[in-house]
Structure 1
């Protein structure tokens, strides 16, 4: 598991403080390893990161079928019974995922996530791995 990087703490806290209703924020690699988190417990964040790996792969596959698309997923939004799940591409091989309750306004959340990615996207990267090793 990749250790949480201390320099992500203030960035993720700023997002959480700026949008009401956020329960958890996870930064993850494309292969589903948690890089950082804010809120929630580490085990839940690890499960969310692992699930996101499959979801981003599926979203990218669907994006490739859209004739006017460049074939890459930018953002996924899932509305659930009592909340929302957001996942956004955040840099090479890295994603930003947010779990929020129903008071969270989806437009505001997506704008704040996009702002965060634009501002610090270069820091939200994960080098590709082969057989568990960084290449």
Structure 2
């Protein structure tokens, strides 16, 4: 897990009624999680959320035009519960950002904050190309 990203994930928690954030890989591994979640809780949720986004992507053809041979690209998933919501968006190749909230959340504010965070995370998750320093090996 990348503890250096925790502070960035905590930023999305400033949206009123947002509870938790997890950065996960497509195969369900936790890359980072916000404060307030134990590692065990984050592991369980990341595994479930990975399956949820996979199912969502698999059903993309359901939204495609009837005469189309290609599935509509997946953008985000939202699941509503009696007491809140879970939002999942792509956070880069093989990575996803998931956020949970209460039922009183401003959904637009939450997803806007998530997309803003993904833009910031992209710079931190990408390694710049190595530069040749001219020294002989």
Report the TM-score, using the length of structure 2 for normalisation.
Answer: 0.79
Which segments of structure 1 move beyond 6 Å, counting only runs of 4 or more? none
Residues 1-21 of structure 1 show CA distances to partners (whole Å, capped at 9, x for unaligned) of: xxx21321221111112x012
Paired residues of 2:18 and 2:110 also in contact (CA < 8 A): no
Which of 26, 29, 33 is 1:30 aligned to?
26
User: Once structures 1 and 2 are overlaid, which stretch shifts more, 60-69 or 8-17?
Assistant: 60-69
* Alignment-derived partner of residue 133 in structure 2: none
2-side partners of 1:107 and 1:94: how far apart? 22
User: Once structures 1 and 2 are overlaid, which stretch shifts more, 39-48 or 64-73?
Assistant: 64-73
2-side partners of 1:77 and 1:21: how far apart? 16
Q: How far 1:119 sits from its partner (Å)?
A: 2.7
Paired residues of 1:94 and 1:124 also in contact (CA < 8 A): no
Q: How far 1:45 sits from its partner (Å)?
A: 1.0
Paired residues of 1:61 and 1:71 also in contact (CA < 8 A): no
After superposition, the CA RMSD in angstroms is 1.9
Q: How many equivalent residue pairs?
A: 121
* Alignment-derived partner of residue 49 in structure 2: 52
* Alignment-derived partner of residue 41 in structure 1: 38
1-side partners of 2:105 and 2:37: how far apart? 17
* Alignment-derived partner of residue 73 in structure 1: 74
More strand by share: 1
* Alignment-derived partner of residue 113 in structure 1: 114
* Alignment-derived partner of residue 93 in structure 1: 94
Question: Any gaps of 5 or more consecutive residues in structure 1?
Answer: 126-135
1:70–1:90 Cα change, 3 Å: farther
SS at match of 2:99: strand
SS at match of 1:91: coil
1:21–1:124 Cα change, 3 Å: farther
* Alignment-derived partner of residue 133 in structure 1: none
SS at match of 1:87: strand
2:16 corresponds to 1:11:
no
SS at match of 1:31: coil
